[in-house]
Amino acid sequence: MPTIGLIYPDHAAEDDYPLAEGLLDGVRLPVEHIYGTDLHAVPELLDLGSPERLAEGARLLAKHEPDAVVWACTSGSFVYRWDGAAEQVAKLAEAAGKPASSTSFAFVRAAAALGLRRVSVAASYPDDVAKLFVEFLGAGGVEVVSMSSEDIDTAAEVGRLPADAVVELALAHDHPDADAVLVPDTAMRTLGVLNRIEQRLGKPVLTANQVTIWEGLRLAGQSVPVDSLGALFRRRDA
């Protein structure tokens, strides 16, 4: 089974990863942290996702001997827009000496894997940041039919949201024309409530920590289906 190295910004909801590790038999998900600001603002996010910071994350992960590395941050990747985010992960792959990606690309590839074309976005970010995620999805061929922005300024605040609030956030921002609901912040604990949200909505839900893990497994050429991590992982080629 593979080892997927995760570079995680500061501290918020990284305990989603050991939770997933317990569900994905034999998969290792070591997390190493890089530090900057946890403010959801464009200049700060550009600094957070800089090549120097991610190279430091890759160095920290080296001792785990990962098969693939993922920058586990949505806003710190899509804020670079499509071409910049592609350059970001290319430099990360070079620094790590391993296949690499980011949560933003994970959303696009997970949507494609499920055949999702039209989605609703339930974002915790301020509006200007959330709009950049919508732009990124559009560049990847995913149409956003509805977008909400909760205007939460910091990742730490997002990490303190109780489970019921996370569920209600996703439920409140569904749209009848959406094939799925996307919840794009790795600072939000979602893995423990994913199936609950999907059952209430009757459609797939993609969340940041979920797609990050799935993307790492995809890079490692592994399929690890499990019933407890949403429709994305229930696919037999998950």
Q: Is the pLDDT of residue 176 over 90?
A: yes
Token pair 């590395």: residue: 69
Q: Give residues with Cβ within 8 angstroms of 17, minimum separation 6.
A: 6, 8, 29, 31, 209, 213
Cα 238 from Cα 51, distance rounded (Å): 30
Boundaries of every domain in the chain: 4-106+209-234, 116-207
Minimum mean pLDDT among 16-25, 65-74, 119-128, 133-142: which range?
A: 119-128
Determine contact, residues 7/32, Cβ cutoff 8 Å. yes
116-207, CATH topology level: Rossmann fold (3.40.50)
Q: Is the pLDDT of residue 234 over 60?
A: yes
**If pLDDT is split at 50, 70 and 90, which confidence band does 151 have?**
low
Flag whether the pTM goes above 0.85.
Answer: yes
Dump pLDDT digits (tens) for 88-139: 999 999 999 999 999 999 999 999 999 999 999 998 888 899 999 999 999 9
Q: Is the pLDDT of residue 38 over 80?
A: no
Dump pLDDT digits (tens) for 185-205: 898 899 999 999 999 999 999
What is the percent of the chain where pLDDT is above 70?
Answer: 94
Q: How many residues make up the chain in this entry?
A: 238
Could you tell me which residues are beta bridge partners of residue 101?
70
4-106+209-234 — its CATH code? Answer: 3.40.50.12500
Identify the residue with better confidence: 234 or 158: 234
The 3-state DSSP class for residue 207 equals strand
The 3-state DSSP class for residue 205 equals strand
**If pLDDT is split at 50, 70 and 90, which confidence band does 143 have?**
very high
- Give yes or no on whether 4-106+209-234 and 116-207 have one common fold: yes
